[in-house]
Each structure stands twice: as structure tokens, then as C-alpha cells.
């Protein structure tokens, strides 16, 4: 390319810059001044703050290290262990929090999920079976006791006497329950039925409508005179509560803790 072509290109650039209102000399000087400010600057990292107390952690590490014949542990290792503990604890909290949120989320109305087991209904069914079985055994025992109480055998049998005594106690207990039930019914009848909430009378409802109309009419004036702080809507932060069951579920899923002693201790609580 010839010098004539270079000069023509520079003239074209200057013409375009001048039409746009840009001075190339001023822009070059500003760029050089900005670069000169960066020369000689130093970049420092933020202060390394330990998550755990360095002195207490160092003492605990030394106590454990002495059992294996290690007498000196540098502070760099203590700082590294402190950061590792912080990272591990953050991971545990995040995963357990996700488990707790998943436990609270309801998927009944979601079409992507299909229920294949209902443990609560199954437990309720077993409880009902146990209740029926217990009631049946109580009825059988009651019939045996009543037969023993009605029998009039001349021979003195210790087992028969024990059954008669037990039947007598059962009858006394049933009589006491009937008396208690009658006393409760009598007390409820004396107290009377529960008072229903009074319905507002026409005069009170009219006064209420008048007060509401006055408040509605005065609301624009108050809003214009005072700042609209009441119109702000504060979003309520959702609180996730983690319980021991969520932590146990997390430890059961993790390979490091699935057979740990800490998991077995948590299951015993």
C-alpha cells in the first residue's frame, strides 16, 4: 500500500470522527492517562478469616495428632482444616435444607406424580384392627368374668374366687364410669347450650357501612398527604425448619455416613 493511500485512509477516519464530534487526540490522551494510573498499583487479596477458633482447633488437632506420634502441626494445616470444615458444613446444610423443602412440598395436585403408597392410611388400618381385636378380647374376658360371678359352686376354688373378685371390680368400674358420664351430662345441661354469635342489627350494619364509606372517602386524602409506606408489600421470607429425621435421611444417602456410628446414635434418639 502506498503512502498516498495511508494518508487518504487517515483523512477518512479524521473526517468520520470529526462528523461524530470525537477528537481522536483527546481520546488518545485520556486512554494514556487511564493506563498510567494503573501502573504501580498493587492488588491484595481479602483477609483470610478462619471459620473455627484457631487456638482451640490447634489444641484439639495436637491432642489427636499426639496419639499417632505427630508432635508439630503448622498453622497452615489448621487454617486448611478450618476451611474444609466450613465447606463441609455448608454442603451438609444445603443438602439437608433441600431435603426439608422437598418434604414440605406437596405433590398431590401435580400430574407428573402418581401416588403408589399411603403409609398413613395403612397405619390407621392396622390401628383399627388392633382396636377391634382388643375389643373382642375384652368382651371375651368380660363374658368369662360374668359367668364366674354367676356360678354358685360349693367347692372353694382359688381361681374361681379370683375371677369373682375381678368380676366384682369390673362391675364397680363400669358403675363408676356410668356415674361419671351422668354427672358430665348433668353439668352440661346445667351450663346450657353454647351462646351463638349475635348477628349485627340493621342499625349497627348501617353505621358500619357509613363508617366504611367515610374511611374510603378519607383514604385518598391521607394517601396524598402522607408517603405511601402502607402500600408497600413486604414479601414474607419462607423459613425452612430442619428436624432430626431430615438429617438421618441425609446420612443414610451419603456414602461416608451410611455406616457411621453417628447415624446409629441418631437412630436411637
Report the pLDDT value the prediction gives residue 127, as an integer from 0 to 100.
93
In the prediction, which pLDDT does 166 show?
Answer: 78
Query: What are the boundaries of each domain within the chain?
Result: 126-188
Nearest-angstrom CA–CA distance, 66 and 22: 73
In sequence order, which ranges of the chain are alpha helices (DSSP H)?
3-20, 24-38, 54-66, 75-104, 119-150, 158-191, 202-225, 244-253, 261-268
Residue 212 CA to residue 202 CA, distance in Å, equals 15
pTM of the model: 0.40
The x, y and z cell numbers of residue 37, run together, are 494510573
Q: What is the mean pLDDT of each run of 10 residues along the chain (269 residues)?
A: 52 60 73 62 66 89 90 89 92 92 78 81 92 89 76 65 77 85 85 65 52 51 48 64 90 90 89
pLDDT of residue 131: 92
Write down the pLDDT at residue 223.
45
Amino acid at each position: 500500500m502506498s503512502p498516498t493511500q495511508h494518508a487518504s485512509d487517515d483523512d477518512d477516519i479524521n473526517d468520520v470522527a470529526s462528523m461524530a464530534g470525537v477528537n481522536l487526540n483527546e481520546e488518545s490522551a485520556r486512554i494514556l492517562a487511564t493506563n498510567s494510573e494503573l501502573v504501580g498499583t498493587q492488588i491484595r487479596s481479602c483477609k483470610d478469616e478462619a471459620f473455627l477458633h484457631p487456638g482451640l482447633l490447634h489444641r484439639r488437632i495436637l491432642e489427636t495428632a499426639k496419639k499417632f506420634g505427630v508432635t508439630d502441626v503448622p498453622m497452615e494445616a489448621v487454617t486448611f482444616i478450618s476451611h474444609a470444615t466450613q465447606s463441609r458444613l455448608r454442603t451438609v446444610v444445603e443438602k439437608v435444607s433441600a431435603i426439608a423443602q422437598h418434604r414440605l412440598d406437596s405433590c398431590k395436585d401435580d400430574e407428573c406424580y402418581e401416588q403408589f403408597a399411603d403409609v398413613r392410611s395403612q397405619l390407621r388400618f392396622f390401628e383399627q384392627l388392633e382396636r377391634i381385636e382388643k375389643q373382642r378380647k375384652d368382651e371375651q374376658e368380660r363374658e368369662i368374668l360374668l359367668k364366674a360371678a354367676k356360678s354358685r359352686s360349693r367347692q372353694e376354688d382359688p381361681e374361681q374366687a379370683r375371677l369373682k373378685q375381678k368380676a366384682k371390680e369390673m362391675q364397680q368400674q363400669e358403675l363408676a364410669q356410668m356415674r361419671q358420664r351422668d354427672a358430665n351430662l348433668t353439668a352440661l345441661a346445667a351450663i346450657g347450650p353454647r351462646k351463638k354469635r349475635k348477628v349485627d342489627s340493621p342499625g349497627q350494619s348501617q353505621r358500619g357501612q357509613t363508617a366504611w364509606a367515610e374511611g374510603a372517602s378519607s383514604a385518598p386524602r391521607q394517601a396524598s398527604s402522607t408517603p405511601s409506606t402502607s402500600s408497600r408489600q413486604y414479601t414474607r421470607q419462607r423459613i425452612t425448619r430442619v428436624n432430626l429425621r431430615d438429617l438421618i435421611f441425609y446420612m443414610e444417602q451419603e456414602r461416608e455416613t451410611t455406616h457411621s456410628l453417628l447415624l446409629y446414635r441418631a437412630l436411637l434418639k
